[in-house]
Chain A
Amino acid sequence: MTRIKSMIGTAAGLTVLLAGTLAQPVAAADGVSAVTEGKVLSEDRKKGNCLACHMMGDGAYPGNIAPPLVAMQSRYPNKEKLRAQIWDATANNPDSPMPPFGKHRIVSDEELDKIVEYVWTL
């Protein structure tokens, strides 16, 4: 059962990956697909793994270490401020356990942009 589940998971993952590569040349101008890719990156355990700590959209099994990511646009005046938080949370709060995703190159600049696009929609 879990085998089947993980096969479906892998298949889905591959499809997303393939779709990602194929859509790449067009995606740049396509906000919707940046958001979709941002969502995948946010949930990917090897990339954003934001769900480890934050409740976030419909992501399954979120952690509860950090505040739920909701109503972002009412909390952040612009995407740059939001990006700065994700780039290095310790700049704002030296004790923050949130990993400095940009500063420590956990995700690339382009990946970070896509994550910001997604989080901005929450």
Chain B
Amino acid sequence: MKKILLTCAALILTAGFGTATASTPEEDKAAWDRFYQQRFPNVPEEDYNNGVYTIDKVGRENWEAIEEFPPYEPFIDAGREMWETPFANGKGYRDCFPNGPAIAGNYPHWDKETGMVMTLPLAVNNCLEANGEKPLKYKKGPINNILSYIAFESRGQVVNVEIPGDDPRALEAYEEGKKFYFTRRGQLNFSCAHCHLQTVGMVLRTETLGPAKGHPTHFPVYRSKWGTVGTLHRRFTGCNKQVRAKPFKAQGKEYRNLEYFLTHKSNGLELNGPGARK
């Protein structure tokens, strides 16, 4: 009897907080779209790939000035050279990515064979290792060159992350990413959603909080704060650390699943990397 009462109470509680785990990826996407649409009724859908500058007018002016002499250009050039320089065994990136270099739109995707989310940086390192080359570090350094080049060549492709129905593990990975996004972490007790959904558009000290929809479209990103180009997982690390949570491993399962969930929320937006940010 007591147990039944408890279950009832639990049911009522869950209902009160809105639908929880039952929602499908499509329903999630629709709910996010509706939320941002209501919060920013004047922002055109296709503008979300400009990140925080879709809503920060002053920031946008500075950013547009920066984009006239893009700080990420040398990195694109260095990446092009990497793409065109053969590995020690005579092969090259082209042999791993026959459709390349404009391939960013295919990532992240569910890889049924390995049973995991495949991201572009992971695929790049798989290619290097398969050809006897040393893998690249995932946050800083030359990986950003090759990623900048691929991103630049992929501009205009449309984000289309699929959660295939024929492998339940794909939905599981997506759900793990979702759980991550709404989980409070760190001494300061924030979830990603607190800053990028709940208080989006507001100003934290002097920083405008940008919508999560559109976040992954322009990576890697040149950040003035970094003085260089960095990967998406480097940025995840930063957003974990600023709430005083211990960050996770770049390209580990947690961040890959997070990327899978998050990028799905940008479906329909054009890729426009590499980007430039404060």
Select A61's contact among B195, B199, B206, beta carbons within 8 Å.
Answer: B206
A104 touches B203 (CB 8 A): no
Are B199 and A97 closer than 8 Å at their CB atoms? yes
Closest chain-A Cβ to B149's Cβ sits at a distance in Å of: 36
| Residues 36 to 65 of chain A near chain B (Cβ within 8 Å) | 45, 49, 51-53, 61-65
Is residue A15 within 8 Å, beta carbon to beta carbon, of the partner chain? no
Contact with B along A65-83 (1 / 0, CB 8 A): 1000000000000000000
- Do B205 and A97 touch across chains, with their CB atoms under 8 A apart? no
- Please indicate the chain A residues that have their CB under 8 angstroms from the CB of B195 in the complex: 97
The verdict on B194 contacting chain A, using a C-beta distance below 8 Å, is: yes
B contacts with A, residue count (CB < 8 A): 13
B187 close to chain A: CB less than 8 A: yes
Partner of B187, one of A51, A62, A106: A106
Q: Are B189's CB and A100's CB within 8 A?
A: yes
Residue among B190, B195, B205 facing the most chain A CB atoms (10 A cut-off): B205
A20 at the interface (CB under 8 A from B): no
| Contact A97–B198 (Cβ < 8 Å) | yes
CB proximity of B78 to chain A, nearest CB, Å: 32
Name the residue on A nearest B17 (C-beta).
Answer: A94
- B103-116 interface bits toward A, Cβ cutoff 8 Å, 1 = contact, 0 = none: 00000000000000
CB-based nearest A residue for B191: A97
Assuming the contacts A97-B194, A97-B198, asked whether A64 and B189 have C-beta atoms less than 8 A apart, the reply is no
Q: A95-B198, A97-B198 are in contact. Are A104 and B205 (CB under 8 A)?
A: no
B188 at the interface (CB under 8 A from A): yes
Contact between chains at A63 and B188 (CB < 8 Å): no
Q: Is B202's beta carbon under 8 Å from chain A?
A: yes
Q: Bound complex: CA of A45 vs CA of B205, how far in Å?
A: 10
Contact across chains for B187 and A65 when beta carbons are under 8 A apart: no
Choice from B188, B194, B198, B202 contacting A64 with Cβ under 8 Å: B202
Interface of A is mostly: loop
Residue A108 at the chain B interface, CB threshold 8 Å: no
Count A-side interface residues using an 8 Å CB cutoff.
18
Contact A99 B202 (CB under 8 A): no
Number of A-B pairs whose CB atoms are under 8 Å?
38
Min CB–CB distance A62 → chain B (angstroms): 8
Asked whether B206 lies within 8 Å of A97 as measured between CB atoms, the reply is no
Within B180-224, the residues touching A (CB, 8 Å) are 187-190, 194-195, 198-199, 202-206
Is the beta-carbon distance between B198 and A63 smaller than 8 angstroms?
Answer: no
Q: Which of B187, B189, B190, B204 contacts A63 (CB 8 A)?
A: B204
Interface residues of A in 101-122 (CB under 8 A from B): 104-106
| C-alpha gap A63/B163 in the complex (Å) | 38
Nearest B-chain residue to A89, judged by Cβ: B189
* B202 contacts across to A, CB distance below 8 A: 63-65
Cα–Cα distance between A112 and B23 once the two chains are bound (Å): 41
Of residues 3 through 26 on chain A, the ones whose CB sits less than 8 Å from some CB of chain B are none
A51-B205 in contact (CB<8A): yes
Q: Are A53 and B189 in contact (CB under 8 A)?
A: no
Q: How far is the CA of A49 from the CA of B198 in the complex (A)?
A: 19
B203 to chain A, nearest CB (A): 5
**B interface residues with partner A (beta carbon < 8 Å):** 187-190, 194-195, 198-199, 202-206
The 4 A-B pairs of least Cβ separation, nearest first, read A97-B194, A99-B188, A52-B205, A65-B202
What are 6 residue pairs bridging A and B, where the CB atoms are less than 8 Å apart in the complex?
A51-B205, A52-B204, A63-B204, A99-B189, A100-B189, A106-B187
